[in-house]
């Protein structure tokens, strides 16, 4: 039996902490919130013909750590994260990362890009699905709604939207800043298939992503309820971990907690 | 030029990787493309940001998208999408903007494209095509289709004088010989100026050049030898464009010449000045306000000869 998703998530999480600690960079909270989603997707779901777009580009570290668990990036690669002369920029680069098709980081681009890939597959009669991981704060961007309107209208059943619903954005909670509650209901208004799951339950993620496969002629959205800073109690639900790097003491405490999970 | 574009694209539809997106525009012009392209003709709705991003996704997925709208809605509204999604990745997306300069006339300032190629040619990999005459459009479409990177095509209205014969398409062309100043014109307003100059004696009228592909290369070696020879002889460069001065061809060319110590003794630049009187009118009205109409150009030439 292969390694459990939980075990891989733990390994990726510890490596992610080390990357952020050694490089002294923030954004750790929104990386930890989507790690279960990224690992499950990359280890249990993505097939060779499938494509993935990371719309929440600030979770680049979580993606790099996930690709490392699949042997697609090396330890040496990760050691250069956020340093001069690295290919692993703080947001995904234009090329050089296996499976990564687009530089992202400005929010509100990924869904349109994924929509274009899904439409290209349909027009070229190619197999495969397209997955797009988005943040919840990102839905403030009007371009997301343009893309959703288009994808639903074009009935792109090959498109699966994953939303990391961690409830915290740049300078407040999503409900304080520009309340979209409930996002699920708003997406249902586009007559697409919407599922709500626990975004830290690997089995639930795998079930939802599997069920979305060809089940519908319409795009599917999976709203994954998550915790920003998941797995490190002093980071959970806390705004500062959208930005702050870890000091040595915090790093050790975080490693100790994540190792226990 | 739209009809010629429609014909050229209808031909291009035969390519298996062709796909066309419109921002809900093209009524009475693009119906033949829609007929020919079938499922590969997509009305993306009034949502230009998404249209450009989807085009980038289509291009990354192996297709060659052509994206159409009124020029300012295509380069200004979705500028970040052009920058990040298309140009950073060097993807072969062709942006076709109708209504270069003041072409939409009294429709108003929101519909004018006065800083399009200046803004876009700062982006990586992108080539801007500015046909001066209807017969340039087919050549531009063919060159975009043969290329492998982002392109912007600025369309206008054909103003070529009746019976005037053009030399074959080239990014730089001398369209009228003359012994006077060296004139470089960008876009369809070349037609009216050529018409006004045809009657003038060849010895004193300008030698008129048209440039249709931008940015100008930054080295003088990339400028045609015959153009540099004209300029050396006349010592007077006269650039005319329906675009603001900032980022325009006048600036691009001045830079290229200065860099090679080839700056002429005299430099005249006529460019779009926006809305100096805060009144609106036809394309002709706005050109006149900016001193871009043939009569103003002739007056400037007479003034410079005196």
| B88 close to A (CB below 8 A) | yes
The Cα of A250 is separated from the nearest Cα of chain B by a number of Å equal to 36
Q: How distant is the Cα of A66 from the closest Cα of chain B, in angstroms?
A: 23
**Sign (positive or negative) of CA dihedral B228, B229, B235, B241:** negative
CA distances from A152 to A20, A113, A164, B25, B41 (A): 38, 14, 20, 21, 17
Burial class (CB in 10 A: 0-12, 13-18, 19+), B7: middle
pLDDT tens string A105-133: 999 999 999 999 999 999 999 999 999 99
pLDDT tens per residue across span A131-183: 999 999 999 999 999 999 999 999 999 999 999 999 999 889 999 999 999 99
Question: Which residue in the set A102, A126, A153 is minimally distant from B60, CB to CB?
Answer: A102
Q: Is A55 on the interface with B (CB under 8 A)?
A: no
Does residue B28 have a pLDDT over 90? no
Orientation of helix A248-260 relative to helix A5-23, angle to 10°: 180
Question: Residue B32: pLDDT above 90?
Answer: yes
**B58/A120 touch (CB, cutoff 8 Å), yes or no:** yes
The token pair at B226 is 């015959």
- pLDDT mean over B144-166: 96
Residue A114 contacts B, CB cutoff 8 Å: yes
> Same topology for domains B2-155 and B172-305, yes or no?
yes
- Share of chain A residues as helix, strand and coil, in percent rounded to the nearest 5: 45, 15, 40
The pLDDT of residue A261: 79
Q: Of the candidates B40, B47, B55, which has its C-beta nearest A146's C-beta? A: B47
Tell whether B83 is within 8 A of chain A (Cβ): no
| A52 min Cα distance to partner chain B (Å) | 12
Q: Note whether A239 contacts B: Cβ–Cβ < 8 A.
A: no
Establish if A98 touches chain B: CB-CB under 8 angstroms.
no
B46 to chain A, any CB pair closer than 8 A? The answer is: no
DSSP for B34-54 reads: HHHHGGGEEE--S-HHHHHHH
Q: Percent helix, strand, coil in chain B (nearest 5)?
A: 40, 20, 40
Note whether B303 contacts A: Cβ–Cβ < 8 A: no
For B198, the enclosing helix (H) or strand (E) is helix B190-198
Chain B contact for A109, CB < 8 A?
Answer: yes
A110-123 and A142-153 helices cross at what angle (nearest 10)? 20
Lowest-pLDDT range of A257-261, B145-149, B273-277: A257-261
Q: In this structure, are strands B182-186 and B207-211 parallel, antiparallel, or unpaired?
A: parallel
- pTM of the prediction? 0.96
Q: CA separation (Å) from A31 to A34, A107, A134, B14, B120? A: 6, 15, 12, 46, 34
Residue B287 has pLDDT above 70, yes or no: yes
**Domain ranges, ordered by start, for chain B:** 2-155, 172-305
Residue B258 in tokens: 């200065």
Q: Which residues fall within 8 angstroms of residue B229, CB to CB, at 6 or more apart? A: none
ipTM of the complex: 0.95
CB contact under 8 A, A120 and B61: yes
Q: Chain A partners of B54 at a C-beta cutoff of 8 Å? A: 112-113, 115-116, 119, 147, 150
Instruction: Tell me how many degrees the CA angle A68-A69-A75 measures, rounded to the nearest 5.
Output: 40
- Judged by CB atoms closer than 8 Å, whether chains meet at B45 and A143 is answered as no
Per the CB < 8 Å rule, is A116 touching B44? no
Domain B172-305 falls in which CATH fold? Rossmann fold (3.40.50)
The verdict on B136 touching A (C-beta cutoff 8 Å) is: no
C-beta neighbour count of B229 within 10 angstroms: 12
The predicted-structure confidence for A197-233, as pLDDT tens digits, reads as follows: 999 999 999 999 987 666 678 999 999 999 999 999 9
pLDDT tens digits for A77-111?
999 999 999 999 999 999 999 999 999 999 999 99
The pLDDT of residue A1: 46
Cβ contact, residue pair A116, B45, below 8 Å: no
The structure tokens listed for B3 are: 């009809």
Tell me which chain A residues have a C-beta less than 8 angstroms from the C-beta of B58.
116-117, 119-120, 123
The domain that holds A71 is classified in CATH as 3.40.50.970
Residue range of the domain that includes A101: 5-260
Which architecture characterizes domain B2-155 according to CATH? Answer: 3-Layer(aba) Sandwich (3.40)
Mind listing the pLDDT tens digit for each residue in B93-139? 999 999 999 999 999 999 999 999 999 999 999 999 999 999 999 99
Average pLDDT, chain A: 94
- The predicted-structure confidence for B171-183, as pLDDT tens digits, reads as follows 999 999 999 999 9
Domain tally, chain A: 1
d(CA B123, CA B211): 19
């Amino acid at each position: 039996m292969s390694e459990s998703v939980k075990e891989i998530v733990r390994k990726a999480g510890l490596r992610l902490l080390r990357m952020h600690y050694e490089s002294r960079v923030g954004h750790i909270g929104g990386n930890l919130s989507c790690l279960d989603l990224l690992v499950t997707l990359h280890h249990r779901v993505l097939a060779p013909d499938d494509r993935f777009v990371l719309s929440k580009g600030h979770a680049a570290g979580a993606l790099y750590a996930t690709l490392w668990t699949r042997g697609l990036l090396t330890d040496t690669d990760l050691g250069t994260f956020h340093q001069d002369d690295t290919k692993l920029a703080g947001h995904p680069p234009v090329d050089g990362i296996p499976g990564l098709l687009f530089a992202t980081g400005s929010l509100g681009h990924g869904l349109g890009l994924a929509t274009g890939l899904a439409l290209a597959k349909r027009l070229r009669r190619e197999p495969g699905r397209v997955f797009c991981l988005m943040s919840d704060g990102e839905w403030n961007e009007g371009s997301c709604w343009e893309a959703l309107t288009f994808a639903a209208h074009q009935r792109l059943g090959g498109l699966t939207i994953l939303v990391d619903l961690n409830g915290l954005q740049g300078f407040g909670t999503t409900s304080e800043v520009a309340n979209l509650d409930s996002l699920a209901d708003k997406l249902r208004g586009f007559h697409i298939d919407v599922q709500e799951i626990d975004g830290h339950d690997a089995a639930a993620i795998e079930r939802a992503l599997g069920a979305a496969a060809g089940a519908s002629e319409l795009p599917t959205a999976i709203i994954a309820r998550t915790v920003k800073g998941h797995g490190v109690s002093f980071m959970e639900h806390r705004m500062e971990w959208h930005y702050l790097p870890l000091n040595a003491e915090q790093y050790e405490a975080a490693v100790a907690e994540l190792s226990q999970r | 030029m739209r009809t010629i574009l429609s014909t050229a694209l209808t031909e291009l539809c035969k390519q298996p990787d062709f796909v066309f997106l419109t921002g809900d525009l093209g009524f009475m012009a693009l119906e033949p493309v829609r007929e020919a392209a079938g499922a590969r003709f997509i009305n993306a709705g009034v949502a230009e940001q998404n249209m450009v991003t989807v085009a980038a996704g289509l291009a990354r997925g192996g297709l060659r998208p052509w994206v159409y709208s009124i020029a300012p809605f295509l380069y200004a509204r979705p500028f970040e999408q052009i920058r990040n999604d298309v140009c950073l990745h060097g993807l072969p997306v062709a942006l076709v903007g109708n209504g270069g300069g003041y072409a939409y006339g009294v429709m108003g300032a929101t519909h004018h494209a006065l800083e399009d190629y200046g803004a876009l040619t700062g982006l990586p990999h992108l080539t801007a095509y500015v046909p001066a005459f209807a017969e340039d459009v087919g050549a531009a479409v063919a060159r975009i289709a043969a290329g492998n990177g982002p392109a912007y095509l600025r369309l206008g209205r054909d103003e070529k004088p009746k019976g005037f014969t053009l030399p074959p398409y080239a990014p730089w062309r001398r369209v009228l010989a003359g012994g006077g100043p060296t004139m470089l014109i960008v876009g369809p307003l070349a037609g009216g100026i050529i018409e006004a100059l045809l009657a003038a004696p060849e010895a004193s009228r300008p030698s008129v050049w048209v440039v249709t592909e931008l940015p100008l290369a930054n080295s003088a070696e990339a400028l045609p030898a015959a153009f540099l020879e004209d300029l050396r002889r006349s010592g007077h460069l006269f650039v005319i464009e329906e675009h603001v001065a900032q980022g325009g061809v006048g600036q691009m060319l001045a830079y290229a010449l200065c860099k090679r110590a080839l700056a002429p003794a005299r430099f005249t630049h006529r460019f779009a000045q926006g809305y100096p009187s805060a009144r609106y009118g036809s394309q002709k009205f706005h050109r006149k306000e900016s001193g871009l109409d043939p009569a103003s150009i002739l007056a400037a030439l007479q003034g410079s000869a005196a």
